Homo-oligomer: A and B are copies of this chain.
């Protein structure tokens, strides 16, 4: 069993706030992340898949294929977008890195399975100082 990780980048705007909270409450909990004008990040996404090596190719999975899946389903829909208002798979979710990791897992999982390997981990770094890792429901 081998683990293969592909790193992809995207830049996006977001804002953390709840409409059902007062400005003060949003400010208290989310601080500068609730600034009404929004802000943004150069996000870094790491997709790790797990599988046996194909002895014919020496690959767990073809990186070109994996990269295409990530671009078609995630970065192509999210790069240079606003996570609060323009990304369908984030509708109805707080635009936190935690929710983004959960949503990316859900979007990618069926496509990764079709490659004959398992999705193992979605890691998203919002800045170089913090990141989220999600290993799927089975791991809970």
Contacts of A12 in B (CB 8 A): 39-40
Interface size in chain A (residues, C-beta < 8 A): 62
Does B133 lie within 8 Å of A2, measured CB to CB?
Answer: yes
Report the copy number of this chain in the oligomer.
6
Q: Is A132 an interface residue, CB under 8 A from the partner?
A: yes
Smallest distance from the beta carbon of A64 to chain B beta carbons, Å? 6
Contacts of A6 in B (CB 8 A): 129-130
Does B7 lie within 8 Å of A99, measured CB to CB?
Answer: no
Complex-state Cα separation, A79 to B127, whole angstroms: 13
Does B99 lie within 8 Å of A58, measured CB to CB?
Answer: yes
Instruction: Give per-residue flags for A13-32: 1 if the beta carbon is below 8 A from chain B beta carbons, else 0.
Output: 11010100000000001111
6 closest residue pairs by CB, A with B? A40-B40, A58-B94, A37-B82, A58-B96, A32-B80, A3-B133
